[in-house]
Amino acid sequence: MSRQTPVGIDLGTTFSTAAWVDESGRTEIVRNAEGELLTPSAVMFADEELVVGKEARSATTIHPEMVAEWVKRDMGLPYYSRPIHGRKLPPEVIQACILRKLKGDIVRELGRVDRVVITVPAYFDEPRRKGTADAGEMAGLKVLDIVNEPTAAALSFGETLGYLTPGAEPKEEMTLLVYDLGGGTFDVTLLRLSPGKIQTIATDGDVMLGGHDWDLRLVDYVARRFKRLHKRDPREDPVIINRALAAAIDAKHALSARGRTIMHIEVAGQTVEVPITRGQFEEMTADLLERTTYTTRQLLAAAKMEWKDVSRVLLVGGSTRMPMVGEMLRNLSGMEPDHTVNADEAVARGAALYAAYLLDKESGDEARAGLSITNVNSHSLGVEGIDPETLRKKNVVLIPRNTPLPAKFTERFVTRSENQRSIAVQIIEGESSMPDECTAIGRTVIRDLPKGLPKNWPIEVTFEYAENGRLTVKAVAPGTHQGATLDMERSVGISREGMTRWKQPIDEAAGFDAFESMIQEVMEPSADDHDEPTTPEAIRAMQADFSGPVSGPSRPGGWTPFVAGPRSPEPEPETSPEQDDESLVADGTHRVKSVARPSFPRWVGLIGHVIAALLGLALGYMILCRLRPESFPFPW
């Protein structure tokens, strides 16, 4: 059997790149067909063909309605936030178009492509991770695994310093803080490095914060100046605003090298010049930088560590080139940030190294057999329940965030009532105590329990979280031979059949007509697909079948381009008043008991609030009358 070539792909918000590991074990970056190392993550859906990269990004100033950008921020949503040719496309499909372009570049350089590792932000939740894997499959790639971007960056750092070889010459153990500020997302991760071992300690992040937000501040600045001069807001014109965005990106890069620059924007044959200094830029974006500062402090607090415990601060992501980032980290940590790895290439190189590690493990190759890589889960995993004291929904966490993987936890619950015939287990992901603020990632039901079971019959729920981030949930009723197992899949998204059918226009780089045809054939009929709900109506259909609380899809934010205006929130699915599959009751005082929640009309609660307010006013008036009868006469 011929040797498989390890390949890693950094699927970025603004730029994407691929790397591979040669026979000597060194990583190399794949050049694209245009001869460049970085490929803009932009897709133009022209009438006759699909265009990915620099040409697509340039087209935003001419045909913005044809171009999709910043799609990574919309992962986890049913549709990309801006219509293309007036039609909605799934973000996974657009990401697959980018991956298909990278696949072609890899084949051009290496002659073939075997299995690949694709990176995601450490703070991506389950729907976003699964969506990324789906995009790889639709692009015709065999996805070996998904790996966190900071972990990949640490692998690249370890390669540079010689930490990846087990039993290498003695090197001191170090604690590495990876500060990863990319074009659209921010991650900060603590890792411990020693020869042959990389261990993730804790991770945090913001999937809606990146260099693009700095660009938009410059766009707003120049738009205000333009409006004062010409009494017209350029943000209302998609062509002009995309020109302003391109000028803002150029200005941001210039201000990283010098203290001042001039933004040039052409409007109606006139060139508008707007000067700006680095100080002004830093002042208008200070709150964005503070968000990364706060998240970094929170990470150290969660890990119970101080800056004196950190050996190095590694900068990753193109946005870390802004001088304000390095200055902030110097003031915060008291140490000089580390630029050992290339900020644009480190993640792709690390992904290739991770692919080599996994392939060597499969084949039993001794070269990397001793290398140990440990990740943590970035979000808590739990079960939806109800607090019996407040009758409010409660997130009962089974696997807390930052738990080393693999992990396995079992929690004992009991039935809520006599003769209970079914148990519903709703799995959620997130940190909030309120399930509605978390992501519903799956549901499993134990049915056909024996008749006559007494109240408080034990139910055991087990969560198994593998190294690759895949979750398996098992629920059993001991002594009844009844149980259910659920290998977690996305509760929303493209069906397996739909993914297979999307492959054809993606692989052929077809024109938009082919994609529009697929929207009609695959996406619109899938609204009635019971197994893969993609609309509130479909979710309600599943809810009526199970008669239990089912949350809608994850609704992360996402950059809505100026031409599209603010995106309206998706309607919340209605809850069924009936409870055929009853919830779990926790067994033990250390867990919140989960019981069925009675359903009341909303007007009942409103009347209660009004009555309580009137009673409060009356009581207050009576007290004032008692204390100051001369001012507040009251007929006793």
Residue type at 581 in one-letter notation: D
Instruction: Identify the CA nearest to 108 among candidates 32, 52, 37, 23.
Output: 32
Choice among 69, 72, 92, 252 that is catalytic: 72
Which residue out of 10, 213, 338, 429 is catalytically annotated?
10
Query: Does the active-site annotation cover 145?
Result: no
Pairing of strands 115-120, 142-148: parallel
Sequence letter at residue 411: E
Our answer to whether residue 10 is catalytic in this structure is yes
Q: Give me the catalytic one of 74, 125, 180, 345.
A: 180
Tell me phi and psi for residue 237, to 5 degrees. -110, 115
CB-CB contact of 104 with 16 (8 Å): no
Which three-class secondary structure state does DSSP give residue 85? coil
Cα(631)–Cα(625) distance, rounded to whole angstroms?
A: 7
Q: Cis omega (within 30 of 0) on the bond before 275?
A: no
Annotation says 220 is catalytic: no
Determine contact, residues 577/599, Cβ cutoff 8 Å. Answer: yes
Candidates 74, 125, 137, 149; catalytic one: 149
Give 391-395 contacts, CB < 8 A, sequence gap 24+: 391/597, 391/598, 392/434, 392/597, 393/434, 393/435, 393/436, 393/549, 393/597, 394/433, 394/434, 394/435, 394/592, 394/594, 395/428, 395/430, 395/432, 395/433, 395/434, 395/435, 395/438
Q: Residue 598 is encoded by which pair of tokens?
A: 């009675």
Establish whether 72 is a catalytic residue.
yes
Pairwise CA distance, residues 398 & 352, whole Å: 33
Q: What is the DSSP letter of 225?
A: H
As a whole number of angstroms, the distance between CA 406 and CA 411 comes to 17
606: amino acid identity, one letter? L
**Alpha carbons 138 and 489: distance in angstroms, whole number:** 17
Please give the full DSSP string across 328-358, using - where no structure is assigned: HHHHHHSSPPB--S-TTTHHHHHHHHHHHHH
The secondary element (H helix, E strand) that includes residue 138 is helix 126-138
Question: What positions carry a catalytic annotation?
Answer: 10, 72, 149, 180
